[in-house]
Amino acid sequence: MKEIFERIWELALPYQDKRDDAGHAEVTLSYARRLVELEDGDEDIVIPAIILHDIGYSQIPRERRMLIFDRNAAREERDAVRYEHQEESVKLAKDILNKVGYPPDLMGEILDIISEHDTREGFISKNEGLVRDADKLWRFSRAGFDADEARQVTSNESRCKRLEARLKDPNYIYSQSARHIALKELEQRKNLN
């Protein structure tokens, strides 16, 4: 990994994994690096964006940020938390990118991706699609399944069925590489049942 990415990672580390999702930042970074290679993405956009995409959760009180997993919470409340974390992520990301002297001509695209990575309809670019794919692949990973199990959200079987249904939606995953990875991960998760 480039030295500047390592510096971004180190500065972002205190803000990572704030939703009882230990390993989220590391797992999504791993997927992003793989997708950049497989899909010929721009690592100078995708890697900083994936490192910084969820750091805004650290700025939201725990009880509020965990509403996103509360099926009894109103959808409007859960959505408000998603928008808030995106806004806070952009603020922190801009500060971190400035601290490392990241090229200003690249920062705009990175911040735009972060600003709606959980709420944007459709995909605006390959880079944005790869960031969102890496983030979504967390849900298919063993670590993502373990995090959901610890939260007692749903059973492995019901999560597998839900993820299978999402993969049938052509707007859920951007790249064929991510779809292939998701299917392989899903097969492994099914074997846990």
185 contacts 27 by C-beta, under 8 angstroms: no
CATH of residue 165: 1.10.3210.10
pLDDT at 153: 61
How many folded domains does the chain comprise? 1
Residue 22: which domain range? 3-190
The model's pTM is 0.95
pLDDT at 70: 87
CA 20, 187, 34, 104 dihedral sign is: negative
pLDDT tens for residues 17-66?
Answer: 999 899 999 999 999 999 999 999 999 999 999 999 999 999 999 999 99
CA-to-CA distance for 161 and 135, rounded, in angstroms? Answer: 19
pLDDT tens for residues 119-141?
Answer: 999 999 999 999 999 999 999 99
Q: Which residue has the higher pLDDT, 157 or 60?
A: 60
pLDDT tens for residues 170-192?
Answer: 889 999 999 999 999 999 998 86
User: pLDDT band at 193, cuts 50/70/90?
Assistant: low
User: Residue 151 pLDDT more than 90?
Assistant: no
- Percent of the chain scoring above 70 in pLDDT: 98
Alpha helices (H) in 40-175, listed in sequence order: 43-52, 62-65, 75-99, 104-115, 126-137, 142-151, 156-167
CA-to-CA distance for 148 and 144, rounded, in angstroms? Answer: 6
